[in-house]
Structure 1
């Protein structure tokens, strides 16, 4: 049987392949038999999988972050693809499989993206903003190299947080050429720090897979955690209170609405831009990801982060080619 990736799955197919278990929970079926409810992943995506009538040995073996070889049938449940596992085993050394090759990752190396962030830091003229950002980036470099930007939503990939921040900075640079009154020092600083405390909100391994939210992350959330980080760092580097408060307000308001964690809305232009740049970047990422596995002329699956909207994949390039040949 031909080895397949998740992106190639279609309802009714019998598949075989290697996958990384991203999560695994033992549950009870209606017939009182145990089953494993798993999320399997590779570089092309992830799929829900069920191992019915599992044993205690299965429960112990097939844990999160374990590489497995699977054979099964692709079905559909509530509009989503699902894999009914027929055979499963742990990957062995003879398979020659590297777990890192089964994890979706940013399209650039972490070293390149981190250096791009430092390049934008070098453009910051304000001494206090630069000192705060430099200190926080250097203290958290190791985690930044692999951390995702989320557990399940946008940029939930290895080095996704670096990628998210880098592309936001690129967008900010272009927008500041139009809105020339904007203080780019503050805008760059806010972007670089707005999600930095996700490094402490989530518990992620070296593959960029989040296993859970930390206790502090659940009790406080990354916005409050980041404000605390900026306050501590500002005092450490001797930055002015005004600079610290401005950066803290940008972090505090970047989710915009109280129900999303922001008790204050943006109260100066740079904070307003931060919110919308963050929104643009996250939505463009989710749309691009949905369209990657969508055939031209079709709609994608529903996207939870976009209020369950579907997005359409058009085929204008091919249409132009056909007209030129006519």
Structure 2
């Protein structure tokens, strides 16, 4: 179904199709067929790490382990500290080398003569958490990304438990880690379980860490950080290819997928879904530019 329109100079230029799963309200589109939530799975995987015995240095580490971070200095330093506490260095990471997501951090890094590094990759916090959990359990480090590794089996079980459905398919995510297919509705249910869990449980610890440290979940000016800062009580996690999931305790949860993977439609659709849950959301227009100036917008229409 059409979930967003691109308006340029008053005319509908194009449309984006997708699905919006809502726990606590009406859903739109086929929300029961499985898909790959990409990085929106990360908070669920962090729950699995805690269940497997991960002992973070401090609760803020859980926010970064759940993150798609922008590789700002404070992100990179924390990833390095998580690894060091486990007796490891950045060379243990098996995610691909990359440059910072943040354009400012990327420019600064390149200006200083830097090159792509694994620790700069937006998933390096998750991989550091993977490695730290393997160290606690005495599991092999070199093979921690293999599907049959005890770590990945634990994470698959956790995602299945939280979503309330079996894993429909396995694939390899952009960072090299296994990614688990569930339905949009299952993803929304999982996020609701995080925010409504009892204090002190792995689920609630992850949700509380994300809410307390939104800057670690994404970065300065990034959508997840901006939304959680503006809306106390909200957890939200973006994923590649037009995915996002969010939840507020006692209100509901949302998971969405833009079918063509368009990032520009993600925020308008998410905000519209949160408004339908009765939440007061910030005005974050997705502006369409022409010649470097605003000439339109992307708006939700479902």
| TM bracket (short chain) | under 0.3
Pair member with larger Rg = 1
- Higher relative contact order, structure no. (Cα contacts within 8 Å, ≥ 6 residues apart): 2
The TM-score normalised by the length of structure 1 is 0.22
Output the TM-score relative to the length of structure 2.
Answer: 0.24
- Give the helix-richer structure, 1 or 2: 1
